[in-house]
Amino acid sequence: MKVILKLVFQVVFCFSFLIPCKAQHLNFNVYYVIDDNDDYVFYCNNTTGENQHLVVSFNKILGLRANTSLPYAANVGDGKRMLFKLQREGLESFKDFSFNYSIYAAKANPKIRNIKYALPIKAGKSVEVKELTELKELFDEKTVSDKLYGLAFMSSFNDTIYASRSGVVKEIEQYDSATGNSLIYNKRGNYIEIEHRDGTIATYSLFKNKSSFVKEGDDIVVGSPLAIVAGSNYDLGPHFVMTISYLKYKYDKNLDSDDWYTIGYVVPKFQTFRYNLTELQGNSIYTAVFDDELITQEMTRKQKKKYLKSKR
């Protein structure tokens, strides 16, 4: 999982009652307005097109109290949202505050759904699976809080990688395929990140340059083709890697804001030809199946109706 964006801003309250004070950068800003009760009502406006985890903290706050615990932390989607209020402690109290905020382009501490994943290969095809648990160098942007968990799918050169779960394409790198021969591991490489509805992120990596069938922002469903397998120059032979990760947040006043975040990993359960729901075991072979229940499990009623109608 790659954290795309972290922004930090600071605002100092300056007793300006006519113009709301705000911090702003690009497509995200936090600001407040003063309501009829002389409370300071904080809002954010997110036009990044992505879910953001927001933390608002105060360096100083006098004569006011928040109607929520501080620092304030929340996952925010697109659009405008009311966050919290600072309320006067007394009619004659002296008021002063300064605040800052930071954002990460991800959902933190998501409520992870118990979902069936499809094998990311063509329906009816069998694949050998290997577990990857020791490649921590892949994820050096953040401290790994859980045991790193990933799956390598042994494939044939030019096989197609398919989506295991529905979601939105978050980020693509398709111009960084590893060069050389007899490779064991490459820190860099091509990948596609897909954000699921619950905020978890699927990362599919090791595929041919310029072979992506999708673009950033695309809505994809289970079984959507993603890219063409590479990896013939690795000791393992042609293969690709899949991980399911998510952002974890825990505030600690004694730590820098960077250290409030770690990355967790999900051990997904798959539907296969033999098993309705199972964790994949390393050095085992499984056969992929795609049925309507698996494909439509996260669709809205309208989406499901449209999908089933298209099959008639």
- Give 62-72 pLDDT, tens digit per residue: 999 999 999 99
pLDDT per residue as tens digits for the range 176-216? 776 656 565 665 589 999 999 999 999 999 899 999 999 99
Distance CA 271, CA 157 (A): 24
pLDDT per residue as tens digits for the range 221-260? 999 999 999 877 777 788 999 999 999 999 998 998 888 9
pLDDT per residue as tens digits for the range 75-95? 999 999 999 999 998 776 788
pLDDT at 311: 80
pLDDT per residue as tens digits for the range 10-49? 443 333 222 333 444 679 999 999 999 999 999 999 999 8
Alpha carbon of residue 76 to chain centroid: 13
Q: Is-contact 264 244, C-beta < 8 A?
A: no
pLDDT at 137: 46
- HSE value, Cβ hemisphere, 13 Å, CA-based, for 153: 31
Helix segments in the chain, DSSP class H: 292-296, 301-310
Q: Under DSSP, is residue 152 helix (H, G, I), strand (E, B) or coil?
A: strand
Inform me whether the pLDDT recorded for 135 exceeds 60. Answer: no
Q: Under DSSP, is residue 309 helix (H, G, I), strand (E, B) or coil?
A: helix
Of 47, 38, 110, 109, nearest to 81 by C-alpha is 47
Over range 120-136, report the average pLDDT. Answer: 84
Phi, psi of 222 (to 5 degrees): -55, 130
Alpha carbon of residue 222 to chain centroid: 18
Tell me which architecture the domain covering 116-299 has in CATH: Distorted Sandwich (2.70)
Return residue ranges of the chain for CATH 2.60.40: 6-104
pLDDT per residue as tens digits for the range 257-303? 888 999 999 999 999 999 999 999 999 999 999 999 999 999 999 98
Q: Which CATH number fits domain 6-104: 2.60.40, 2.40.70, 2.130.10, 2.40.10?
A: 2.60.40
Return residue ranges of the chain for CATH 2.70.70.10: 116-299
pLDDT per residue as tens digits for the range 145-167? 456 789 999 999 899 999 999 99
What does R_g of the chain's alpha carbons equal in angstroms? 23
Question: What mean pLDDT value characterizes the chain?
Answer: 85
Of 20, 12, 99, nearest to 55 by C-alpha is 99
pLDDT at 17: 29
